[in-house]
Amino acid sequence: MIPALDRKLLRDLWRMKGQALAIAAVIAAGVAMYVSQLGMLDSLRLTQHEYYSQYRFAHVFAGCKRAPESVMEDIRGIDGVQTAESRVVWGVTLDVPGLDEPAVGQLISYPDHGEPLLNDLFIRTGDLPQGPDQIAASEAFCKAHKFKPGDSVVALINGRKRRLTITAIVLSPEYVYSLPAGGFIPDDKRYGVFWMRRHELAGASDMQGAFNDVTLTLKPGASEPEVMRRLDDVLAPYGGRGAMPQRLQLSNWFLNNEITQLEQFGNVLPVIFLAVAAFLLNVVMSRLIATQREQVAALKAFGYRDRDVAIHYAKFVLLVSIIGGIIGAAAGAWMGRGLTQIYTEFYHFPVLVFRLDPLLPVRALAITAGASLLGAMASVRKAAALPPAEAMRPEAPPTYRRTLVERIGLEHVLRQPTRMILRELERRPVKAALSVLGISMAGALLVVGFGFIDMVNYVIDSQANVLQREDVSVTFIEPRNRSALHDLRAMPGVQHAEPFRNVPARLRFKHRWRLAGINGVSRNATLNRVVDEDLKPLVLPDEGVALSRALADVLGITGGDMLTLEVLEGERPTRQVRVAALVDDFLGLNAYMDLEALNRLMRQDGVISGAHISVDPAAQRQLYRQLKDTPFVAGVSLKQAAIDNLRKTMAENILITLGMTVFFAGVITFGVVYNAARISLSERSRELASLRVLGMTRGEISYILLGELAILVLAAVPLGCLLGYWMARGTLAALNTETFRLPFVMSDMSYSVAATVVLVAGAISALIVRRRLDRLDLVEVLKTKE
């Protein structure tokens, strides 16, 4: 037997099912966001961890120019080194069938016998290469070109062209993200990673008995900085390029930044969602309890205790939030699995590991229930504190008064129904304010979602149209004299060529350091430029370096400090340079210098490492073909391809999350608006029925109720925009990472789209309420007293 009080609960819930469902939907949205995001992140981290440990991802990476194999003895002898393995890593230019422009690749040696000690390969299809000119190719590259084992590419290795045949398609923990050195955007079509047997590659690159790359793992408890310092000492005579910990290994660094960004989204957004849900429950509960005042008083008159009454309404809240929580957890688990699948493919993990920590939905439910109870606590308390004597007398008629509009003498302007709307609003300003606040919070979530999407697009557009206005960038194999520019300018279709220099260096400030390239930007650059936050070209100072603000933060350096540059090419000098400016750029950690100033710093003259070029579209293919056959050209990057890839990367990363945000914000908006409408309907159906009895038409009573709703919704729109502005501002910082940063720019578009969604939700709710008003059973309503 269900106790009568619980039956009342279930029947009340059933009667309010529309509203209860709307609230449950809001809660479900928050929980689904929470469970799917955190479940996906958990799975990603787990997949990453499993992958790294199963395939023996190294702890420390170091490159050098050329070291004899015997040096490995010294490296293995470093205290704290567990396993060390030497490799040959060789950059090549590729002639890929079907691609006009040259692509670049990385050839990595694979032991002649057995498996590599570290950084093992996962073989997707095919067999590992055995003979000469056979390679295993990265899956990303093969997918981009639809290559299968048996296909081949032509590579320019050490000045000699060789046709390499793919025998296997593989994945490597080192290239979860395949990024060309210094790049921030994967370009799977123009960048490939390949593995070749050690003696084959050594033969092709003249590296017999030598290596130019070493990776190692640490013994448990070993000091990473200490091992790296010793490794640097060992490799220094052989042109060591500086050891890099796993944390900063390009692919891993990028992957972790991505996951961090997703994590921050996953933590921030669901919290806002749940807060809105809790707020909403509070509004609904306080109104429900207000309508049940006399019932509560009667219960207490019969001897129900305060606690019984409080528990009764708390159960109501819990039931709604648990229904929402369960729906949300189920949807979240389902979406989390889908998201994990998307990311697994995107990051080229060999296997999908989806794990839903059973505690996660439980925690989500607990948070929801807690938040809901917290939200409803005030009203539940109020119900429990209601004096029982209230049951004995009917509720005092509400006190209305003439509204401000009427008091200031505009009364004849207003017709009676309009006056009723205004008086209702003025009589219960708190109720009206809460409704407005609820709707505007939902609207604010939309503004945040659309705002961030807008910011992502802003970054992509600025990158395409303001920062990178070139069509292609050509990088030379070695830095060359400025005169190389003439060769480029003479090529077909070249309209404008702008030199740049990129100097790989270790940037050091006190104990912190990062590897980065110093970008030498030519003065008066018109193609590839550094800009300030208003996208105005920034004139780089005559002396000193300009750093990405994010890089300065990483190094703990500020403007005016002296930065140490340990140059990793040529004579490998160490230089001091003053930080002259900080730049708010969007992608990666960058250092910029005036090209002349950089050359002066390097004590060189007129050295460039490539050029940005604008191209006549008609001669494009011709130019690319010629570049392919130009021996000093190491690689060509196409702006459009970079932008497309950036867009794709964004789409695969934060835009998925933002899309979900916007979708759920839409659900919430509808839930909130519909709720506001339904509560007014249930509170006022008696009054409206009386008006119908007095002879008012359906249209007239609809006007009274819906007019009120319209005013609330309209008032909520600007407030929502304002709240959204502040919410976006407050959460933006948490979303920025070392790899990708959004500037705070809110477009009118975000506001107007968000406003439109709110208005549409208002209109749909109005239509539903209007249909209910049309079916208002006058006798029924007037007979029962609620």
DSSP 396: P
- Residue 539 backbone dihedrals phi, psi, to 5 degrees: -85, 115
Neighbours of 655 (CB within 10 A): 17
- Confirm if 37 and 336 have CB atoms less than 8 A apart: yes
Contact between 690 and another protein by CB under 8 A: the answer reads no
Q: Which is nearer to another protein, 391 or 746 (CB)?
A: 391
What's the length of the chain? 786
Q: Tell me how far, at minimum, the Cβ of 290 lies from another protein, in Å.
A: 15
Which alpha helices (DSSP H) does 94-145 contain, by range? 139-145
Closer CB to another protein, residue 15 or residue 771?
15
Select from 50-58, 474-482, 656-664, 776-784 the region that touches another protein (CB under 8 A): 776-784
When the beta carbons of 95 and 294 are compared against another protein, the nearer one is 294
Out of 91, 388, 541, 743, name the contact with another protein by CB under 8 A. 388
Among 268, 275, 301, 776, binds another protein (CB under 8 A): 301
301 vs 330, which CB is nearer to another protein? 301
* Beta strand extents in 72-222 (DSSP E only): 81-87, 89-95, 103-110, 122-126, 134-138, 152-157, 160-171, 191-197, 210-218
* 384 vs 459 by CB, closer to another protein: 384
How near is the Cβ of 309 to another protein at its closest, in Å?
10
Residues in contact with another protein, counted by CB under 8 A, come to a total of: 33
Which range of residues in 110-118, 343-351, 392-400, 541-549 is near another protein by CB under 8 A?
Answer: 392-400
Q: What does the block give as tokens for 165?
A: 């045949």
What is the biggest distance separating any 2 CA atoms in the chain, rounded to whole angstroms?
A: 103
Q: How far is CA 63 from CA 232, 236, 515, in A?
A: 10, 10, 12
Element containing residue 63 per DSSP (H, E):
strand 60-68
**Nearest residue (CB) to another protein, 131 versus 394:** 394
Site for another protein in 307-326 (CB under 8 A): 308
**Which member of 169, 297, 554, 638 binds another protein (CB under 8 A)?**
297
The reply to whether 25 sits near another protein by the rule CB under 8 A is: no
| Cα atoms found within 13 Å of the Cα of residue 162, Cβ hemisphere only | 19
393 sits near another protein (criterion: CB under 8 A): yes
d(CA 186, CA 177) in angstroms, rounded, equals 7
- For the chain, what percentages of helix, strand and coil (3-state, to nearest 5) are there? 55, 20, 25
The reply to whether 8 sits near another protein by the rule CB under 8 A is: yes
Q: Is 300 in the site for another protein (CB under 8 A)?
A: yes
- Residues 581-640, interacting with another protein (CB under 8 A): none
Among 303, 409, 429, 695, binds another protein (CB under 8 A): 303
CB nearer another protein, residue 6 or residue 226? 6
Establish if 28 lies at the interface with another protein (CB under 8 A).
no
Options 112, 478, 543, 786; binder of another protein; rule CB under 8 A: 786
- What are residue 164's DSSP bridge partners? 153
Phi, psi dihedrals of residue 734, rounded to the nearest 5°: -70, -20
Least gap, CB of 701 to another protein (angstroms): 21
Q: Report, in Å, the least distance between residue 784 CB and another protein.
A: 4
Q: Is 389 in the site for another protein (CB under 8 A)?
A: yes
In 653-747, alpha helices (H): 654-693, 698-735
For another protein, the binding residue among 114, 131, 159, 302 (CB under 8 A) is 302
Do residues 445 and 673 touch, judged by C-beta distance below 8 A? no
Query: In the block, which residue shows the tokens 């449950």?
Result: 24
Contact positions vs another protein (CB under 8 A)? 3-5, 7-8, 11-12, 15, 294-295, 297-306, 308, 387-389, 391-394, 780, 783-786
